[in-house]
Each structure stands twice: as structure tokens, then as C-alpha cells.
Amino acid sequence: MIEYYDISGCYILRPWAMEIWELLKEFFDAEIKKLKLKPYYFPLFVTENVLQKEKDHIEGFAPEVAWVTKSGKSDLEAPIAIRPTSETVMYPYFSKWIRSHRDLPLKCNQWCNVVRWEFSNPTPFIRSREFLWQEGHTVFATKEEADEEVLQILELYRRIYEEFLAVPVSKGRKSEMEKFAGGLYTTSVEAFIPNTGRGIQGATSHCLGQNFAKMFDITFENEKGERSMVWQNSWAYTTRSIGVMIMTHGDDKGLVLPPKVAPIQVIVIPVPFKDADTTAIKGACESAVYTLNEAGIRADLDARENYSPGWKYSQWEMKGVPLRIEIGPKDLANKQVRIVRRDNGTKVDIPSTDLVEQVRVLLDGIQANLLETAKAKRDACIVSISTWDEFIAALNDKKLILAPWCDEEEVEKDVKARTKGELGAAKTLCTPFDQPDLPSGTVCFASGKPAQKWSFWGRSY
């Protein structure tokens, strides 16, 4: 899917990754266009002056900003930053474009690359210095509209993860420490990787409130003729989503791709035993691919003559293709094909006449099974705790910890400080919207103060 590049933290995305990215984009772009988002493209570059306008924002991003200082052999008059995100690139123009309530809502989206020159462990997909994303930036007259959209978008992100990538996620709100730098509040979808015992942020939908509006002077004349300040959101998901999917479903044999995002859903492999009629077998394979393609199923033929069927099986298993169809002399004679599932290895012989119907049923089954299996594994990692000792035990056990919390920033800082270590500190992942019952009198596991909510805690990527 990727190739390491000679600049640390940068990776080459190969077709197997890009085709997944394109499938996700197709879905998401169509959905946001229904919400009246319009495509924009803002520059890669931002001046130092503008980048620094929102104080919290620049504090959050400054250490990771890459600076262009030269062109050809000449020094630039002033260094120019490469966007780590585009709030400061866009908002001076929002200020210019928005005059009246009739200019609202303003809804921008762009698909682009961003650069965050991180020094912590670069990891393909999960933490790379350049990555691809979409960033939506929207402006409303009222907080109610902004609040509503934050959740509409979060639901689309949940669908990307659960319906497409078959990765179970929790919707929730980020803590004050973990929210977007400069924003009012951040919602996210959070996944969890059982093997490593770490949470991972899947995508974020931020309500920026009026903080950026103040800094960038984005106001409008309301219907009464008074000047008002706008309410803003920004939201993004990145190529990281592909990495979360890989970690969730991968096994000893390699990738396991959910059918909805698999560039090839069905690989057809001829199995020409000795003395078989290879022409007839190849013909049956081509016919199967043709029939499936006509039905809108992404099928392909591996007719390479210099590789054995067994070698091909391994290769396509490694690439994670959901279904393999084998056609040999016996299948030809019985007018059937053998179908093998990647997710659980089960084999079934089906009559060629039922091909499309059976393949559809199997693909739907795999898609559902992957999500169910991942959900069961994730759920098995969730531990509800109530005391500090239980918290530490669960953390050492690499669990996804659901803890009653006082929701105070100082307490999260304190927990981080007390859990520092080689594996990284514990932190909040989110306060899930789906809250278990919190009996009155429940106290915070860390501070002993009255608990406000149940929050997910753990180590994270």
C-alpha cells in the first residue's frame, strides 16, 4: 500500500491505498454536496503574520510548521509557512466575503495535502509529515446551526468508519486539553486497536465558536441591520483512516479489506491441473469476471502464467481481497465455481448460474462480519473502573478504560503526569455521547471530586 520515502515521515501512497482513498472520497464528497458544501482550493502557503493571529491556534501548531525561506538561490523577504491546516489561510477571506446575513451560511470544503513536521515516531498512514485530507470550513449566523452541523458531519465520519472501513468507533466530545487549538469544542469518532491497546482519533468535527471570528473580524449585518459575529465549524478526516482500517482487520496473512472499500472485491484464479483444458478454464474465468463487472462488482482475473495458483492465493490474501474464486477442471465439469472468503477462510462451491447473487450475499456478509468481529474485540477491551488502582491496573492491561471523571483540565494534566512512561501517558480519548448510567454520588477516579460524566481513557496513537 505504501513505500517508504527517503525523507523521514513521508510515504508514497501506492494504488492499493489510493483506490481506497478514492472510494471514501466519492462517498463523502457526494454526501457533503447534499449539505451544500462547495469545493474550494486555497493556497498551500500562509504568511507568518496571518498564521499567528489566533494565539491558542498557533501555540498548538507552531512547533510542527515547515517554513519556506528560499526560492532558487534567493532568500525570501519573509519566511512563508506551509499549511498545517487552513483556518488562518481561509478566514481573512471569509471576513472579506461575508457582509450580510444573505452571505450565510458559507460552506467550503477542500481536498488537499497538509504538512505537520512532527518529531514523534512517524508511522505510515497514522502519523506522517505530509498527509491527504478533506477540510470543511463553514460559517453560520447562529450557534444552533453550527452545533447541528458538527453532529451531521460527525455522523458521516462514523459512517466512513463503520459502514465502509468496518471499524467500530465511539462518537463523543474531546476534553479541554485535547480539543482543537483555538476552537470552542471538538467532537470526534474514536477507534481502539486491541492488539496494541491504544485508542486512535478517527476524525474530528470542531465547533470553533466565535474565537476565530473575533481574531479575523468575521461579522455580518443581521436581518435587523445590526452587526453580529459569525459562528464557525471546521472538520476533517485524513488518510489515517486507512491505517486504522489496516490495524483493525489485518491478520498473519496480511491485509483484510472490507468489500465496500476493496479496490478488487473478487479475484478470479484459474487452476489448470495437469492435462486440463486450459483454454476452457481461462474462458470460464474471463466469463466470471465479465459477469461480475457487468453487475457492478469489482472483479479481476489473475491469468499470469509464470506463477502457481498457490502462490497467487497467498499474494491476494496478503493484499486482503475479500473473495477468491478458483476455477479448475472439476468446477468446469460441474458448472460451478469455488469461492473462498478472506475473512474466515470458508470455502463454498456454487453453481455458475448463481454467481452474481451469491457473490453479493457473500460480500455483504463479509462487510457485516468484519464490523461485528471488530466490535466484539473492541468491546472485550472496554473496562469500567471507579478507583485509581483499578485505572492503573486496566491501563497496564492495555484496556479501553471507561471512567467516571470530574471533567477538570487540571485533573487530566495530573493523570498524564502520574502515568508518564515508556509507553506514553494515559489521556482522555473522548466523553462518549452514549453515556452509561452515572449513579449520583459517583466520584472521579482521579480527583475524588463529583464525577460529571463517563469518559474513555487510555494510551493513544
Q: How many CB atoms lie within 10 A of CB 144?
A: 10
Does 63 contact its own copies by CB under 8 A? yes
The Cα 292–Cα 190 span in angstroms is: 36
Q: Which three cell numbers stand for residue 225?
A: 441591520
* Beta strand residue intervals within 276-365, DSSP E: 299-301, 323-327, 336-341, 347-351
The Cα 417–Cα 400 span in angstroms is: 19
Q: Contact 321/340 with Cβ under 8 angstroms?
A: no
The Cα 36–Cα 4 span in angstroms is: 38
Q: Contact 89/46 with Cβ under 8 angstroms?
A: yes
What is the separation, in whole angstroms, between the first and last Cα of the chain?
20
Give the per-residue SS3 of 337-356: EEEEECCCCCEEEEEHHHHH
Q: Contact 178/186 with Cβ under 8 angstroms?
A: yes
Measuring CA to CA, which residue among 248, 239, 258 is closest to residue 165? 258
What is the nearest approach in angstroms of its own copies to the Cβ of residue 419?
Answer: 26
Among 27, 31, 35, 40, contact with its own copies (rule: CB under 8 A): 40
Element containing residue 49 per DSSP (H, E): helix 48-51
Site for its own copies in 113-132 (CB under 8 A): 113, 115, 117, 130, 132
Does 14 contact its own copies by CB under 8 A? yes
Does 102 contact its own copies by CB under 8 A? yes
Does 181 contact its own copies by CB under 8 A? no
Does 36 contact its own copies by CB under 8 A? no
The Cα 414–Cα 175 span in angstroms is: 14
Among 31, 64, 286, 390, contact with its own copies (rule: CB under 8 A): 64
What is the nearest approach in angstroms of its own copies to the Cβ of residue 129?
Answer: 8
The Cα 11–Cα 8 span in angstroms is: 8
Which residues are bridge partners to 108 per DSSP?
38, 137
What is the nearest approach in angstroms of its own copies to the Cβ of residue 351?
Answer: 33
Per-position x/- string for 297-316, each x denoting binding to its own copies as judged by CB under 8 A, each - no binding: -------x-x----------
Q: How many CB atoms lie within 10 A of CB 350?
A: 18
Q: Contact 175/158 with Cβ under 8 angstroms?
A: no
What is the nearest approach in angstroms of its own copies to the Cβ of residue 74?
Answer: 9
The Cα 435–Cα 92 span in angstroms is: 39
The Cα 246–Cα 17 span in angstroms is: 10
The residue type at 161: Y
What is the nearest approach in angstroms of its own copies to the Cβ of residue 62?
Answer: 6
- The piece of 73-81, 133-141, 195-203, 383-391 that touches its own copies (CB under 8 A) is 73-81
Rg from Cα positions in the chain: 26
Among 34, 69, 434, 441, contact with its own copies (rule: CB under 8 A): 69
Query: Site size for its own copies, by CB under 8 A?
Result: 53
Among 31, 103, 112, 282, contact with its own copies (rule: CB under 8 A): 112
Question: Which is closer to its own copies, CB of 130 or CB of 217?
Answer: 130
Does 392 contact its own copies by CB under 8 A? no
Among 27, 31, 42, 142, contact with its own copies (rule: CB under 8 A): 42
- The piece of 108-116, 155-163, 218-226, 323-331 that touches its own copies (CB under 8 A) is 108-116
Question: Which is closer to its own copies, CB of 66 or CB of 229?
Answer: 66
- The piece of 18-26, 147-155, 193-201, 268-276 that touches its own copies (CB under 8 A) is 18-26
What is the nearest approach in angstroms of its own copies to the Cβ of residue 112?
Answer: 7
Among 82, 104, 266, 426, contact with its own copies (rule: CB under 8 A): 82
Does 22 contact its own copies by CB under 8 A? yes
What is the nearest approach in angstroms of its own copies to the Cβ of residue 100?
Answer: 9
**Residue 204 main-chain phi, psi, to 5 deg:** -130, 145
What is the nearest approach in angstroms of its own copies to the Cβ of residue 342?
Answer: 22
What is the nearest approach in angstroms of its own copies to the Cβ of residue 298?
Answer: 12
Which residues of the chain form contacts with its own copies (CB under 8 A)? 3, 5-7, 10-15, 18-19, 21-22, 38-47, 50, 62-73, 79-80, 82, 92-93, 96-97, 102, 112-113, 115, 117, 130, 132, 304, 306
